[in-house]
Structure 1
Amino acid sequence: MLQSIHHVAIICSNYERSKHFYTEVLGLEIVREVYRAERNSYKLDLAVNGLYQIELFSFPNPPARPSRPEAQGLRHLAFAVTDLEAAITKLTHQGVETEPIRIDEWTQRRFTFLADPDDLPIELYEV
Structure 2
Amino acid sequence: MKTAEKSLDILLKTMQPIHNPGEFVFCTCKELTAINSLDVISIFKEQEGYTVILKKDKADQLLLSYSFIASWITLKVHSSLEAVGFTAAFSNVLASAGISCNVVAACYHDHIFVKSADTKKAMDLLNSFSEIQTK
Which structure has the highest strand share of the two?
Answer: 1
When normalised by structure 2's length, the TM-score is 0.27
